């Protein structure tokens, strides 16, 4: 059973002991990401994450910083999203002190050396180019830009060439002060640990954490009255697309029904879209559907790479599946399969200490409330066939429909005509 501890400075600690493993995972989550940026510093959250690996007062360069974890076979990395940033290390549980010392060191004592900033600037520009060169990745950015346009939710997490080139040391220092604090930070430790000892260690390592209040993100504005499409011309051998609808955020009462709906449509190899698009017609190699929910917005999306010559047919087939699930109720057997798939996948992932840390920490950070697996399963089990149809009818409507597409096409009108439910 997990334990949540909140210190006087607001720092939240989540400990999840598990004696059936010899590993431990340390995850530090900060409640900030690209949605918390202004246009002038778009990409700074991600750039800052990179700079945390460039040296601290105690470990003054990258080699000295990462070598101690390499020497014990540890796994470590970081990630940036629109709403949070994370730093983690997974190690042999006997090296927990090293992992906690390492995570606290990069969080509190990073140097932000000017030469390292300039060096990493080039690395991030190459990362941006890589994303643009891979249509399967770039179409995700086009999707966000289509839905949210010129506001933080519609900007690229990595930023753009101009902002990346412009950022200087003071930008990092100011952002760190205004967005990294005990007030919006969670430290989760899962695995073969002693809870009391772990909490005491975290108190020691993080005693110098910034405790200032943090800035909040701007509210997202959503406006759409008809189907819309974004077509990006690129000579490709395959068309990559995201076709979906605006839906619910993570606080919506129908969030579990939305997740199950996405699973039924394209969550596994025997799902409706996998069978209809790939197996029966051979239109695509990959196709999947999923519900994507943040604290303020959400959508249900279908992602696929399809034959350039058959893209129209693929889009029509996906839309037919959308329409079908609004007209005909899902059968009890198919509903049970989706529920069991979600629950089974969750159970398998929770056998890993790092997944356990993420499971509890993300809930706490995003919703201020933690549900156990059993509680989540109860909510999943409570969803009925009527709920699925009701949600489908609510979201699969013309005024919520969107298409982002990358391929050798210039005629946007051609695709606008296809967007009918």
49 carries an active-site annotation: yes
The side-by-side arrangement of strands in the sheet containing 3-6 is 3-6, 12-17, 185-191, 23-30, 85-92, 75-80
Whose CA is closest to 199, among 210, 187, 208?
Answer: 187
Say if residues 29 and 85 touch (Cβ distance below 8 Å): yes
SS3 (DSSP) at 91: strand
Nearest CA to 96 among 21, 5, 186?
21
Query: Which residues does 220 contact at the CB level (< 8 Å), separation at least 6?
Result: 35, 148, 151, 152, 153, 296, 297
| C-alpha to C-alpha distance for 208 and 230, rounded to whole angstroms | 47
In this structure, is the dihedral angle defined by the CA atoms of residues 46, 50, 51 and 56, taken in order, positive or negative?
positive
Buried b (16+ CB within 10 A) or exposed e, 133-149: eebeebbbbbbbbbbbe
Phi then psi dihedrals of residue 417, to 5 deg: -70, -25
Concatenated DSSP letters of 377-396: HHHHHT--HHHHHHHHHHHS
Give one DSSP letter per residue of 347-383, joined into a string.
Answer: HHHTTSHHHHHHHHHHHHHHHS----HHHHHHHHHT-
Residues 209, 180: contact at Cβ < 8 Å? Answer: no
Distance CA 220, CA 315 (A): 28
- Are 264 and 308 within 8 A, CB to CB? no
Among candidate residues 37, 49, 83, 116, the one labeled active-site is 49
Other Cβ atoms closer than 10 A to 70? 11
User: Of 362, 384, 359, 364, nearest to 374 (Cα)?
Assistant: 359
Catalytically annotated residues: 49
């Amino acid at each position: 059973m997990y334990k949540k501890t909140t210190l006087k400075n607001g720092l939240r600690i989540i400990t999840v002991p598990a004696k059936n493993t010899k590993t431990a995972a340390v995850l530090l989550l900060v409640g900030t990401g690209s949605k918390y940026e202004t246009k002038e510093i778009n990409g700074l959250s991600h750039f800052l994450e990179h700079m945390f690996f460039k040296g601290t007062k105690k470990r003054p360069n990258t080699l000295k910083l990462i070598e101690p974890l390499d020497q014990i076979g540890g796994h470590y990395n970081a990630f940036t999203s629109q709403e949070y940033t994370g730093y983690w290390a997974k190690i042999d549980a006997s090296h927990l002190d090293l992992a906690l010392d390492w995570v606290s060191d990069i969080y509190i004592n990073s140097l932000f050396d000017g030469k390292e900033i300039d060096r990493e600037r080039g690395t991030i520009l190459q990362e941006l180019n890589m994303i643009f060169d891979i249509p399967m990745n770039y179409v995700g950015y086009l999707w966000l830009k289509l839905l949210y346009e010129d506001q933080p939710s519609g900007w690229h997490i990595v930023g753009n060439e101009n902002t990346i080139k412009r950022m200087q040391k003071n930008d990092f220092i100011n952002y760190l002060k205004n967005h990294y604090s005990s007030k919006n930070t969670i430290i989760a430790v899962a695995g073969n640990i002693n809870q009391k000892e772990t909490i005491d260690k975290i108190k020691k390592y993080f005693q110098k954490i910034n405790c200032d209040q943090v800035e909040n993100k701007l509210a997202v504005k959503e406006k759409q009255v008809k189907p819309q499409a974004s077509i990006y011309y690129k000579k490709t051998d395959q068309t990559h697309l995201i076709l979906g609808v605006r839906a619910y955020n993570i606080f919506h009462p129908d969030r579990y029904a939305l997740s199950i709906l996405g699973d039924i449509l394209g969550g596994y190899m025997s799902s409706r879209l996998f069978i209809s698009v790939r197996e029966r017609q051979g239109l695509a190699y990959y196709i999947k559907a999923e519900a994507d929910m943040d604290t303020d917005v959400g959508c249900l999306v279908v992602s696929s790479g399809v034959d350039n010559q058959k893209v129209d047919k693929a889009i029509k087939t996906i839309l037919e599946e959308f329409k079908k699930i609004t007209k005909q109720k899902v059968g009890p057997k198919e509903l049970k399969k989706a529920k069991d798939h979600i629950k089974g996948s969750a159970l398998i992932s929770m056998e890993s200490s790092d997944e356990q840390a993420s499971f509890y920490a993300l809930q706490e950070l995003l919703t201020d409330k933690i549900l156990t697996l059993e509680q989540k399963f109860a909510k999943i089990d409570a969803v009925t066939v009527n709920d699925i149809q009701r949600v489908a009818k609510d979201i699969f409507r013309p005024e919520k429909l969107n298409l982002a597409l990358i391929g050798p096409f210039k005629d946007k009108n051609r695709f606008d005509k296809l967007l009918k439910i």
